[in-house]
Amino acid sequence: MAEKAKETSSVSDNEGAVANNRPVKYIHVRLDGKTKELILADISLSLKSTDEEILAVLAKSLRVDIERFSLFTVDRRKDGNIYLRPDALFSEK
């Protein structure tokens, strides 16, 4: 009886997800009250992409005008994931 080969390229979850024996890196963005997580490789981005490249590709992928991200910061985390978040405003008392 022949056994079918299992596919190993699927992603199971965000924590420790692996594709082709490499950790999957995500970009997280909160827009219009919804959190979106996109796999960097799926939208042709890498950890070496510039902030400008990230914003342009993300705007195109989400079908929004790039100006929507004018007050956002590209936050690169130690785990390799990227977060696009609104600029933090701090006040002094």
Q: What is the pLDDT of residues 26-75, one digit of tens each?
A: 999 988 888 999 999 999 988 889 999 999 999 999 999 999 999 999 99
Interacting residues of 80 by C-beta distance below 8 A, sequence separation 6+: 23, 25, 47
- Domain assignment present for residue 72? The answer is yes
Number of domains in the chain: 1
pLDDT exceeds cutoff 60 at 1: no
Which residue range(s) make up the domain with 68? 22-86
The β-bridge relationship of strands 72-76 and 22-23 is: unpaired
Q: Specify the CATH number for the domain of residue 48.
A: 3.10.20
Residue 83: pLDDT over 70: yes
Residue 7 belongs to a domain: no
Domain contains 2: no
**Which residue, among 79, 46, 45, has the nearest Cα to 62 in the 3D structure?**
45
Q: Which two tokens stand for residue 53?
A: 């490249």
DSSP helix/strand/coil, 84:
strand
53 falls within a domain: yes
With respect to residue 13, please indicate whether it lies within any of the assigned structural domains: no
Q: Please report where in the chains the tokens 């079918």 appear, as a residue.
A: 4
CA dist., res. 28 & res. 93, Å (int)? 32
pTM equals: 0.68
Q: Determine, yes or no, domain membership for 58.
A: yes
